[in-house]
Structure 1
Amino acid sequence: MDRFEGKTVVVTGGSSGIGLAAARRFAKEGAHVFVTGRRQDELDAAVELIGDATAVRGDVASPADLDRLYDAVRARGRGVDVLFANAGVGGFATLEDTTEEHFDQIFGINVRGTLFSVQKALPLLNDGGAVVVNLSVRGDDGVAAFGTYSATKAALRSYVRTWANELKDRGVRVNAISPGTIGTPAFDGLSDEAKAGFTAKVPIGRIGTAEEVADVVVFLASDQSSFVLGANIHVDGGEKQF
């Protein structure tokens, strides 16, 4: 099935994890995919895996880097049909231990970076296109020492509702996903104790895969979800439900 034949897709944070899995799915279904990331070697490896892709190195927290991304998209001359605003970072710090640097980094990439990734795409977004924003179940559950990260995802949930309302007259659908505990490089970097703690909370009995999340991203970006607007789909093995 080539649901995205001839389409242009932008995936921020597309060099690993969920972003890479989604980029590969979009390309497999016919899209040309622009991917961003902060490390050139990872981007080069990602392009080899994706196939029909263009890599633009950059940090979504940098307006100049986002401008370079969209300049590259503009040069192709076909606009943007799908934006998967996926780039994000996490980090642990209790209320007592939270520093200005920690706050600025997490909010700068997750909220500021996502906001301007979407805003700067607007002149290129084709009518009838789709925006999918990567949130997290952590935006709801109050895990200790994860407050700043969780707050960024809650802020983005609010933005998604607003953006869906603001862009609906252009036929642009804005929706979100909230992954639970997924086997990504970020998860792999946790301590064994932290991994066990997060995994134990998944009712389905295992962690998810990046490919399982990508399936839902592609669904929300496709015409199969044409009556879905402003939604937040949990891809979490039941973490939110139970």
Structure 2
Amino acid sequence: MNKVYTGKTKDVYALDSGNYLLQFKDDVTGEDGVFDPGANTVGLSIEGAGKAGLRLTTYFFKKCLEAGIPTHFVEADIDAQTMTVVPATLFGEGLEVICRFRATGSFMRRYGKYAEEGQALDAFVEVTLKDDERQDPPISEDALDMLGILSKAEYSILKQRTQEIACLVKDELAERNIDLYDIKLEFGRDQHGDILLIDEISGGNMRAFKEGVYVEPLALTELIVSN
């Protein structure tokens, strides 16, 4: 295998088959030792986080495929903490797409003058550029199109798929009496130019609460996959 990318929460290797291997780490994003799915730095390392993230990702990627939502998932080896995926190209140098069902985190930091913490939101979708130097700035549909990152037609597909996936996850959590506040997703283009879900769907990129108490990423995996 040839390592082609060292990421915050996973490393990427090129395989002879043309596919790629993602190696999940125990590192999670956050600041000052506190987990935050919206942070752009590694905040702490949690033993077992990589395996838990992969278990939940595998669960939800299979659910997406059953629902006809295209992803880059091929197979996973939970014990090795690896996932094999098909090649996909990023939009620009990468986008993060957030779907919000309740106001919290960076939404409150930006719009707190008009919103209340925990306020219900109607599957609000926002896109940010993966740009650590500029603190992952939000970007509009028009700007994405004008800068040649994502066409308006592609944005429409991206938004629809984001809401479909987020609602799928939300419904799964709701069956366990867990309230999904927000979720961060990533997308790319396959070899045919079609948009597909990439990266992961794990406790490390969502905020969820049960009876008003925040559910840690490892605990979320146990609540979803083990029940």
TM-score (norm 2): 0.30
Higher strand share: 2
Which structure features the higher share of helix residues? 1
Normalised by the size of structure 1, how large is the TM-score? Answer: 0.28
